[in-house]
Every structure is written in structure tokens, then in C-alpha cells.
Structure 1
């Protein structure tokens, strides 16, 4: 029996206002005055001097703003890497991602691709990365995706939507400052929070479950229920707890896997560009057959926060388009095996997937 020797984030700071420690953290990591730190920052902060003025730029450091309107693409990673290599006099000292799951995934992917040859699409899959990544730091400004703790960076490539899953992917340093999540719009707060909730349900109900995953998954599940169904939390308490739920939810799938909702959501994301959080919600709403208890609680949360999910997004798709989504979903074999066991192909047929997609 071989056990996963799983890499964790080696350093983490948690606390309100901890973002102000970024400069102290980076100074000893600077390789030289001409080896810059590259800050990838969610472009919603372009007009937010409260955050951008606190980024500790020195020497030739630079900020590159990243739009999170669309899911990250392998081509976008390749363009960024080329830009960094062409404009920096020396290999950068590190990559710092400040934003939600999209920006954190971009930071992880760029840190890998600066030190590995070829294109990002060549590394979509499990354990294909040869060289250690550049030093990279993750600073989430929205909680739920678990991107700050996971060993994957989910990218849409020319042929598939799949992560670069490797031991070199996790951040070297994470700063968890709940204050940074204060301006998140309500719908987005709900969708990314549900990404975390769905991580937990899929991990806890999966065949890969073990005591390691279970301990994190149960804690994250409990925090999500408290957050989304309890009326007595202050805004600050809610921010703190969702940040911890996201961390624990990410850890729960570290040693297990996600399941049906994520597999179907990847299909929607690949074909329709549906954002990951909302895609998970649209799918999960129809999965009573697989996760009866989880879907019941999800519907209660949705009603309590008056969230209206988009309907009929697959209503006018052609057979060819359905086939593309089905192919993407079926390619995620570890997710299906976790959800349905070794004989998952007998349960999850193309017809069954077509039926599920056509309800959305």
C-alpha cells in the first residue's frame, strides 16, 4: 500500500490586519534588486487604494491586474509567463496572488510555468510538473474556493478543463486576513461559500474518505451550516469563520477528492464559461439522487439568502455541445471513482449525464 506524501502550505499567517506583514515576509525572500516580486492582483482592486497602496513595492517589483470575469485559461498563463520572462532582467524572486480563486490559481500556474518548459496545457493532469515552482504567496480576498490550500490550479485549456495537480503547486506562504473579504457582493459571497460547502459534502460522502479528510471536512461543513443558517453571527465573525471553512474544506479534499457536482461543473465551465462557484450551485441543485442530505441543506441556505440561480442554461444546446460537456465531465475519472466507486462507469452513463445537464 502506498500512501500519498502530501505537500502542505509550509507557512501561514491568520488574523485581521495580517496583510500588513507582507513586506516583512517578502524581504528575506528577495533574490536581488533586479529580481522583482510580481503581484497578480484581482482587477476589482484597481480603484481600491486601501489595498493597492499597502502592497509593498520596491526596486523593480510590479503589479499585474487580472480580470476574474472568466475562469483562468492555459493561454492566459502562457501570455503572462512570456511577458514576465521578456520584461524582467532576472528571474523573479516570487509571484504573489491577491484575489479570489481565479487569481490564486493564476499565481500558482505562473509560478510553475516560469520554471518549467513548454505550455501550461502540457501540465494539465496529475504529477506532470518536473521542476519546483518559483516562490509563491497566496492572499485570498474572498473565501470558499480552497485555492489557497490546494495542490491544484484549475485551468481551461484548448481540450479540457483540468488542474495542474502537483507537489509543486501549493503556495509556500499564505496570508489569511479576513478583513480583505469585506467588500464581496452577496451573490458572489454565497456562490464561493457554497463551493466550500459542496467540497465538504463530496469529500464526506466519497469512497476515498479517511479520518484525515473527515476531520477537516466535518469542521468545514459545521462552519458552513453555522454561517449560512445561523442568524447570530456578526459580520466579522462570519468573515473569520468562512475563511477557516475555506481552509478546512480545501484540506478535506487534499487527501480525498471531490465528486459529481465538480465533474459536471467543469463541463459547464468548459463549454459555457460558467464560473466555478455558480456552476457548482446550478449542478448541485439537481443532485438529490447522489447527495440527498447535502442538497436539502443547500436548498435551505439558498432560500434563506434569497438566491435565485440561473435556469435553463442548457435549454438550447445542440447534441454536439452536450457531447462536449459530457466528454469533459467523464474525463475526470478520480472524481467519479470517489463519488460512485470503482464501477462508476456502469452508473454514470452518457445518457444519464445528458439527462442531468438537460435539467439545468
Structure 2
């Protein structure tokens, strides 16, 4: 059987397209509830906050993403929204990087599905459509704007809510919003996209659909991180979109699985966690890792070293458990017999290098 997957149905791209947000939302302002804008609190005192098109009855929630999004944080935000207004919001609008976009997707889901966000970590556990939601990235690379996953850290695991209901109904891709991002953050987030592409293009799930998107995304990443282009933000924004589409009909691989273990135990952010893991995976992705190191050298990036040194035996085992819990990622990397090829001891050795 072939997957009959959904994609984001409405997309606007272009410099200045954020200015059309009020017009986009106008047709959705038919519910008694207002819009809820979820904005990364890094913009608290910046110009973008003042550009959010708030109407009477709307709410602006500033969210903190210093830590990776947790299921408990989603639950708290949903409770806050419900306490402020008993009506279901007309829409949720997420504005920020990948973590903020994941938070907005998860909140939209939990407003219509009972229980905790932790109840839905896994594949296709969501039963009811979310409220209308719009994603507006201010960083590019994670593919959160196009992905059917919202990555969350729960009490027992780091695992996404993977569902067709997770997808945004509308995304606004405005490259102007990427201006001013610190170099390290720009690089680590962009490398999430590059690593998506490498894992997808070398995976056992590869097909012409994912290959077509992955190859274009990889080409754009090379232009952004190895060449000089005045429109690099436009290129990176499209690389992120194509990279997300590439894994929609395939999967990521060993790097993402291992990085989830790092994030769960050490709280390392997703983008930098992927970079730390990828830098140690020559045996899986030799050409990609070599090119990644060229990109690091060009942009003078210094990765943290030996982040797993000094961890207790229990912590190392916990990382291994989280990493090996992502079966589809390992199958895409190593094939159906991946459990024989990646025993706990080998996974632990890989993590100990990081």
C-alpha cells in the first residue's frame, strides 16, 4: 500500500508577504472565538511584535523556546487559552522558529483533542482535526512549517505527534523575516535541512518523489552554505520547504534518531544536536559529513565537544533507549534488519563519541 499523505493546502511566498496576514485571516474570522497568535518571546521588544494584526478579541501569547518544547508546556498553554475564553479560538497563528511552530501546531491539536500532549506522541494517534492554524517561520531549516510532525519532549521520551491533522492549513514564507538571525543559530537550523536531505537521499525508503524534492533542497543548501548569494534567505526558505517535502514520503535517519537521545537527556536544541551527532557519523554518511565540515569551516562554526562525557551509566542507557525507539528512522537508514545492525552497544558507542 502507498501512503496517501496530506500536504499544506495554502502557501504564500515572497518578500513582504507577512503584510498580507490580516487579509489571509479575514475569511476565518467567523467564529465567536478570536485568533490566538503564538510568538517567540525573542520578538517581545522587536518591531515584528507590533506588526501582528491583532483585532478585538484576539490574544497574543509570547512563548519561550530556551528549552526544547515539552508536552507539559503545551498542556499549560492550552489550559491558559481555555481559562481566558471558554470559546474555541478561530485560529492559531505560530510565528517563530521550528520550536515555536511546533508549539503552535501542538496547541491547535490539543484544543480539540482531550488529554495531554504526551498521550499523542507517536504515529496517527490524533483523532480529531485541529483548529485552523497558520505557520510563519522566522528561521529556516527545520521544515516545521511543512511537516506533519510536532516534535515534543515528554516525561518518558522525545517523540513527535505525527499526524495529517498536525499540518498547517496555511503557511506564510516571507524571507524578510530571516534578517538579523545570529550566525550560529542560522547555521544550526539550516543544517537541520541539509541533514534531512542527506538522510532522505541515502535512505532505504528513497523514491522518485522524495528524491526530486531532496535533490533540489540539497542544491539550494549548497548555494546557501558554500557559495555567496544575495538572496540566500530566499533560497534557504525554499530549501527548508523542499527538505520537509522530501521526508514526507520517506524518512530521516541515524542522525536524527541519535540527536533525539541527546536532546532528551541533555536538553540540547534540535539543530545543534543534529550537528553534534552528524559530525560523528562518517560511517553512515561519509560524503555528507565531509561537506558539512566544509560548511562549518566556511562559517567559522565551533561545535560543542564531548557533550556526553561524564554522563552516568543510567543517562547513557536512557539516551540509547530514546534513540532506538525511533524505529522508522533506523529502518530508513539500515533496512528492515536494522535491529541486528544497530544493537544497543553500537548505539552507545556512537553516542559516547559525541
TM-score range, shorter chain: over 0.9
What is the CA distance between 1:36 and its match in structure 2? Answer: 1.1
Q: Secondary structure at the match of 1:40?
A: strand
What is the CA distance between 1:89 and its match in structure 2? Answer: 3.9
* Length-normalised TM-score, structure 2: 0.99
Q: Which moved more, 1:280-289 or 1:344-353?
A: 344-353
* 1:56 aligns with one of 53, 57, 65: 53
CA shift digits 1:294-329 (9 cap, x unpaired): 001001101111100000111100111100000000
| Count of aligned pairs between the two proteins | 354
Q: Secondary structure at the match of 2:44?
A: helix
* 1:35 aligns with one of 33, 36, 40: 33
Aligned to 2:12: 13
Aligned to 2:136: 139
**Aligned partners of 1:15, 1:313: CA distance in 2, in Å?**
39
**Aligned partners of 2:289, 2:86: CA distance in 1, in Å?**
52
**Aligned partners of 1:89, 1:57: CA distance in 2, in Å?**
19
Where in structure 2 are the equivalents of 1:78-97 lying within 5 Å?
78-97=75-94
Aligned to 1:286: 280
What is the CA distance between 1:347 and its match in structure 2? Answer: 1.1
CA shift digits 1:74-125 (9 cap, x unpaired): 0000001111111114110010000000000000000000000111000000
What is the CA distance between 1:176 and its match in structure 2? Answer: 0.1
Aligned to 2:43: 45
Aligned to 2:299: 305
* Length-normalised TM-score, structure 1: 0.97
**Aligned partners of 1:306, 1:266: CA distance in 2, in Å?**
25
Aligned to 1:345: 339
Contact preservation (8 Å) 1:200, 1:252: yes
Pairing 1:217–2:214 present: yes
* 2:246 aligns with one of 223, 241, 252: 252
Structure 1 segments, 4+ long, off by >6 Å, are none
What is the CA distance between 1:273 and its match in structure 2? Answer: 0.3
Pairing 1:111–2:108 present: yes
CA shift digits 1:11-54 (9 cap, x unpaired): 0000000000000011110134x411000000010010x21111
**Aligned partners of 2:86, 2:324: CA distance in 1, in Å?**
44
User: Can you give the 5+ residue segments of structure 1 that lack an aligned partner in the other structure?
Assistant: none
RMSD of the TM alignment (CA)?
A: 0.7
CA shift digits 1:315-347 (9 cap, x unpaired): 100111100000000000000000000010111
Pairing 1:122–2:130 present: no
Contact preservation (8 Å) 1:36, 1:88: no
Aligned to 1:70: 67
* 2:148 aligns with one of 144, 151, 154: 151
What is the CA distance between 1:261 and its match in structure 2? Answer: 0.3
